Structure 1
Amino acid sequence: MFKIKNKRIFLVFFIAILFTAFYTCTFNEMFQYPKEIKLFENEKQAIDIKFPFKVDTQKIDNSILELLQKTKDCDENILYINPLKIGKTHIQVKLLGLVPIRNVKVDVIPKTKVMPGGQSVGVRLNTKGVLVVGLEEIKGIDEKKHNPAREAGLNIGDSILAINNIKIKDAAHVTNIINKNTNSETTLKIKRGDRIFHVKIKPVKSIDEGEYRIGLWVRDKTAGVGTLTFYHPDTMEFGALGHAITDVDTGLLLTIDKGEIVKSKVASIQQGKRGRPGEIKGIFYETSKPIGYLEKNTYFGIYGKVYKPIENSIYKKPIEIAYQSQIKTGKATILTTTDNNEIKEYEVYIEKVNRQRTPSTKSMIIRVTDKKLLRKSGGIVQGMSGSPIIQNGKLVGAVTHVFVNDPTKGYGLFIEWMIKEAGINIYNNSQIADKY
């Protein structure tokens, strides 16, 4: 009994030492490892599971995938996952093959193909209701200062959806309703984040304009230039920008009532400098023939449907998308429009891949290496957001932001997050077996 107890104490002590000794980059990497990875059918892939961690082969559904181990130089063992058919299973990672550390869901999916973008597009967006972008005091006919909006509890960033149960169309509509009500108490339907509520407010007649006011500034629309990332021929869904359209004053995400994308020509490029982001200035054209309509504005880009197929002068056919587990540091290219309306392909280098469990616009760090693009724009500039990133013939992501202090570098968003936001069914009509 004494010996058994001593062995248990020794085992606990040994494991504790291992935990301490290996709480290094390798240990941290394991805990940052995604809880779920997606793989394409019949496409073998290496997985980065290093000592002291091992995969428990007994926990794998061998009908869906198999593990292969190959020895490289210096007797280094490389572990590969070989997906055999579409379906779901999981792999269990254990410390020294003994202590369970992480269950990683493995989703074997059919290959998804999209047409890469790169086209400069104009974006026109009408908000749902109107957005409050400022509050101000009003000098009333009593020569006193009033701010009915602030007194009613309104904040910058609130959206006014309706007044007295009348749905708001635009900023002018707000003015008309307020003046018709004169000094009567008015009910506003307000959206603040995910919360919708009502407030009562009494307009004040301005001594300066002679009209009734409630003491706020509102905005109902915005427009700008960005880059199309992809469109999916099977569903006609598109994704662009790779980041949200936000209000210029409040920085808040704008909710879409109506919106569309139109053709845009690059008029000029302001070069990016250290501390001063550059900018592509575009001109909308053929505005009576929009390319597509907007369905949603999210933190990971804008999405909607195109009215007809969009051609790409460089990629004539759809290409496969890659998931984050397939993306490597190394050479890549971006597609973007820098002259008139012609797509060009430029060389970049993926310096870092941030493995992510949940969507973020900072999935990758890329650096522009193409001398032509560096001479033309200085690197990444505003208006390039959404430019497709392509590696090994696959669409891996989209450009999202530039580094203010180094315009040659910027962030990229994984294309898998954009495909998810677009609501594209990656399985199509495939039958999926769920087994865990």
Structure 2
Amino acid sequence: MKKRGFKIVIPMISLLFFIFLIATINVMFMPGNIKITQSKNNLINLENSKIKSNFLYKVENEKYKDNDLETSNKIDISIKLFGILPVRKMTLCLLPEVKVIPGGQPIGVKLFTDGILVVGFSDVETATGKKQSPAASAGIEIGDRIIDINGIKLNSSEDLSNIIGKFGEKELNINLNRKGQLKTVKVTPTKVKNSDQYKIGLWVRDSTAGVGTLTFYDPSTGRFGALGHPINDVDTGLQLPVRDGKIYNAKIIAVEQGTRGKPGELRGMFSEEDVLGILEKNTMSGIYGKLTTGASNGIYNKAIPIARQSEIKEGPAKILTSVEGADVKAYDIYIERLTEQSRPNPKSMIIRITDKELLSKTGGIVQGMSGSPIIQDGKLIGAVTHVFVNRPDMGYGIYIEWMLNECGVEI
């Protein structure tokens, strides 16, 4: 009998220890500060899913009585394992409700870089038959941005050619930006064999264009956010700094379905006469600027609340996007996993497309859908950013608070 009892007690102790360990880890990984939208129910009952009591731990207000909660924007919280052992203190920050109008409509994007981006080198054949790249020999590197030459600011690749032609074989003082550091390089152009042209042996880029999705705009200021991730140069992979640019109303004219190992694509078209807004910023969290004309997705014509990171939950949600023409529709998705983040990152959540209609049309998430708003419980919570190459029905989304911060909307 003693041996049988011993065999029962040991597994029970092991199970209790395991539960205690899991509970402790769960609590310790909770953030020290949680931001939620101010609501009387949230304050008094602590209904937020990230911090409510369960059978492992109990959440208690430390200092406030119910009638004090409405006058404070912060609540100190104590978390006790099994309602007995204090293991964590937290602060619940109560913030005002923020509303914006969600997008979902396709947009054309044209961005002009601040400076001329070096994307490659080319050898220049001289009269003696020697082949070289004067720029490479002088120490210019791929990814450098040429700002000015001999004090003359460059706005286009054409400016670069004109200046080289103007100075001929004279040494050029080239000011460039290399990973945020300003540098000066001296380059002497080479005369091309059997030609009157002079070259320094560079491939450069001064602009880029493409199609994406509008995420939101603030009706009170006209400011917008889109894409949810940066625009990077196709050759160097570097984030492109904005000199200026515009977004345009666009239409989706074809869809290339995504398959395992090969991302799909929304193919769109836009006219440079159909300007929607001015592009001002290209950041890790998307592109931003100001609308110059009205925008409507045909679903939401009024602003809706946003949900802060701590208010979002794993489970069903919807995305707004267009896969035909400019018509925006709502499609079902499932939020598989949320990541606690203290700084902007376009990979905030893992999402899965569950809508049969969208899967039949696109195979899942495809290029051009970046920026598609994610809606949960009537609130804007984020935007689609990336697709998993080997799982086209799955991908990443960014929390909307990161995009609002970059847009200048105070949250």
Give the TM interval when normalised to the shorter protein. 0.7 to 0.9
- Which of 261, 264, 275 is the matching residue for 1:278? 264
Deviations 1:87-120 (A, max 9, x none): 3455465778999866544321110011000000
State the alpha-carbon separation in 2 of the partners of residues 265 and 33 from structure 1. Answer: 44
**Offset of residue 192 of structure 1:** 1.6
Match of 1:81 in 2: none
Deviations 1:319-344 (A, max 9, x none): 10001111111111100011111111
**2:34 is the alignment partner of 1:37:** yes
Unaligned runs of 5+ in 1: 1-19, 67-83, 427-436
- Which of 193, 197, 204 is the matching residue for 2:183? 197
Match of 1:254 in 2: 240
**Paired residues of 1:64 and 1:88 also in contact (CA < 8 A):** no
Match of 1:142 in 2: 128
**Offset of residue 372 of structure 1:** 0.6
**2:139 is the alignment partner of 1:153:** yes
Match of 2:12 in 1: none
State the alpha-carbon separation in 1 of the partners of residues 118 and 293 from structure 2. Answer: 36
Match of 2:395 in 1: 410
- Which of 335, 360, 363 is the matching residue for 2:320? 335
State the alpha-carbon separation in 1 of the partners of residues 322 and 179 from structure 2. Answer: 35
State the alpha-carbon separation in 2 of the partners of residues 22 and 127 from structure 1. Answer: 55
**Offset of residue 387 of structure 1:** 0.3
Match of 2:282 in 1: 297
Q: From the superposition, tell whether residues 34 and 154 of structure 1 become closer, same or farther in structure 2 (CA, over 3 Å).
A: farther
**Offset of residue 389 of structure 1:** 0.5
State the alpha-carbon separation in 2 of the partners of residues 383 and 143 from structure 1. Answer: 47
State the alpha-carbon separation in 2 of the partners of residues 193 and 184 from structure 1. Answer: 28
**Paired residues of 1:245 and 1:254 also in contact (CA < 8 A):** yes
**Paired residues of 2:297 and 2:327 also in contact (CA < 8 A):** no
| TM-score for both structures, normalised by structure 1 | 0.82
Match of 1:47 in 2: 50
| Greater Cα offset, 327-336 or 33-42 | 33-42
State the alpha-carbon separation in 1 of the partners of residues 255 and 270 from structure 2. Answer: 15
Q: From the superposition, tell whether residues 103 and 247 of structure 1 become closer, same or farther in structure 2 (CA, over 3 Å).
A: farther
State the alpha-carbon separation in 2 of the partners of residues 175 and 23 from structure 1. Answer: 70
Secondary structure in structure 2 of the residue aligned to 1:233: coil
Q: How does 1:67-216 map to 2 (within 5 A)?
A: 84-85=70-71, 87-88=73-74, 90-91=76-77, 104-207=90-193, 209-216=195-202
State the alpha-carbon separation in 2 of the partners of residues 39 and 85 from structure 1. Answer: 15
**Paired residues of 2:64 and 2:75 also in contact (CA < 8 A):** yes
Match of 1:12 in 2: none
Deviations 1:178-209 (A, max 9, x none): 11111111111111222122222211222265
Match of 1:6 in 2: none
Secondary structure in structure 1 of the residue aligned to 2:161: helix
**Offset of residue 55 of structure 1:** 5.6
- Which of 369, 375, 399 is the matching residue for 2:360? 375
**Paired residues of 1:34 and 1:356 also in contact (CA < 8 A):** no
**Offset of residue 41 of structure 1:** 1.2
Unaligned runs of 5+ in 2: 1-16, 43-47
Secondary structure in structure 1 of the residue aligned to 2:274: coil
**What is the total number of aligned residue pairs between the two structures?**
389
**2:220 is the alignment partner of 1:223:** no
Deviations 1:124-170 (A, max 9, x none): 11111110000233222232232222232211111111111111010
Q: From the superposition, tell whether residues 107 and 152 of structure 1 become closer, same or farther in structure 2 (CA, over 3 Å).
A: farther
CA RMSD in angstroms, aligned pairs only: 2.5
**Paired residues of 1:26 and 1:50 also in contact (CA < 8 A):** no
Q: From the superposition, tell whether residues 56 and 368 of structure 1 become closer, same or farther in structure 2 (CA, over 3 Å).
A: closer
Match of 1:73 in 2: none
Match of 2:6 in 1: none
Q: How does 1:285-434 map to 2 (within 5 A)?
A: 285=271, 287-426=272-411
Percent identity over paired residues: 47
| Greater Cα offset, 40-49 or 355-364 | 40-49
State the alpha-carbon separation in 2 of the partners of residues 321 and 407 from structure 1. Answer: 27
**Paired residues of 2:332 and 2:353 also in contact (CA < 8 A):** yes
Q: From the superposition, tell whether residues 96 and 148 of structure 1 become closer, same or farther in structure 2 (CA, over 3 Å).
A: farther
Secondary structure in structure 2 of the residue aligned to 1:183: coil
| Greater Cα offset, 323-332 or 33-42 | 33-42
Q: From the superposition, tell whether residues 25 and 196 of structure 1 become closer, same or farther in structure 2 (CA, over 3 Å).
A: farther
**Offset of residue 26 of structure 1:** 4.0
| TM-score for both structures, normalised by structure 2 | 0.87
**Paired residues of 1:41 and 1:86 also in contact (CA < 8 A):** no
Letter of the 1:390 counterpart: I
**Offset of residue 353 of structure 1:** 1.0
**Offset of residue 61 of structure 1:** 5.9
| Greater Cα offset, 142-151 or 42-51 | 42-51
**Paired residues of 1:115 and 1:231 also in contact (CA < 8 A):** yes
State the alpha-carbon separation in 2 of the partners of residues 112 and 64 from structure 1. Answer: 25
**Offset of residue 423 of structure 1:** 1.1
